[in-house]
Amino acid sequence: MTQPPAPLHALITGASAGIGAALAREYARRGVPLVLTARREDRLQALAAQLRAQVPVEVIAADLADPAAPAHLHAETRRRGLAIGHLVNNAGYGVPGRYLADDWKVHADFLQVLVTAVAELSHRYLPEMEARRYGRILNVASLAGLVPPSAGHTLYGASKSFVIRFSQSLAAESRPRGVHVTALCPGFTYTEFHDVNGMRERISRLPKWLWLDADTVARLGVDAVERGDARYVTGSINRVLAGLAKYLPERVANALVASRASDFRDAE
């Protein structure tokens, strides 16, 4: 396996909480210097203070809903002399309810964060990775991008499907040049994600065996991108669900999801 030139940093978006913070802890455990970015600088600074005992940590506050943010992040890391060898596109959230329940600006911001910023940051950092013949891009997608859609959270599964296909294609292009690209597809994960979108009470009714903790998801994700897996679904149960979605007749799969969608989707 190609060894990384040192020191290369891991740039992690959405690092202030949840899977993003768990990924920061995982890279720090592996001795990789960090660049943490998210909207909430106070949370980033608190996490950075914890992790600086293990590795150097830089903080760059940015809101990826701003179309100028990816270019700003790239320019700022270059200005600080930080070589990015690991790009983790993790920032994300959900917009609950019907598609028409929100103004277009809400959906435009969502697409900017979950689709456009992922593609742009990859495009900006990939040339540097290919030039040194080493790089890792870990795009946090979701099991939702692999299973049939349901009413509510209309753009979420669609955005994650894009991230999966984009990652697989980019992996095929970049692997011969020393860069691994992975779409990480977690299922239900214990984070504050469902608190933010107001679904905590409903989602908590799901059986415990469907869930993984964020630290486990982070460890599995970093292992997957190091191996060079173009797509990785966390947890055996989630892999079974993804397989059923692929091989069941579409009408049957859609009906099954529709029958249980109210357990995990707000369609009102």
CB 48 within 8 A of CB 57: yes
Torsion 94-98-99-101 (CA) sign: negative
Q: Report how far residue 225's alpha carbon sits from residue 135's, in angstroms, rounded to the nearest whole number.
A: 10
Q: Which amino acids are annotated catalytic? A: 156
List 213's β-bridge partners, or say none.
190
Q: Give the integer Cα–Cα distance in Å for 159 and 198.
A: 20
Rounded Cα distance between 251 and 234, Å, is 26
Q: Look at the chain and count its residues.
A: 268
**For residue 9, which of 48, 45, 43, 42 has the smallest C-alpha distance?**
48
Nearest CA to 8 out of 155, 183, 128, 167 is that of: 128
Ordered DSSP codes for 192-246: SHHHHTT-HHHHTTS-GGGEEEHHHHHHHHHHHHHHT-SEEE-SHHHHHHHHHHH
Burial class (CB in 10 A: 0-12, 13-18, 19+), 11: buried
CA atoms of 29 and 25, how far apart (whole Å): 6
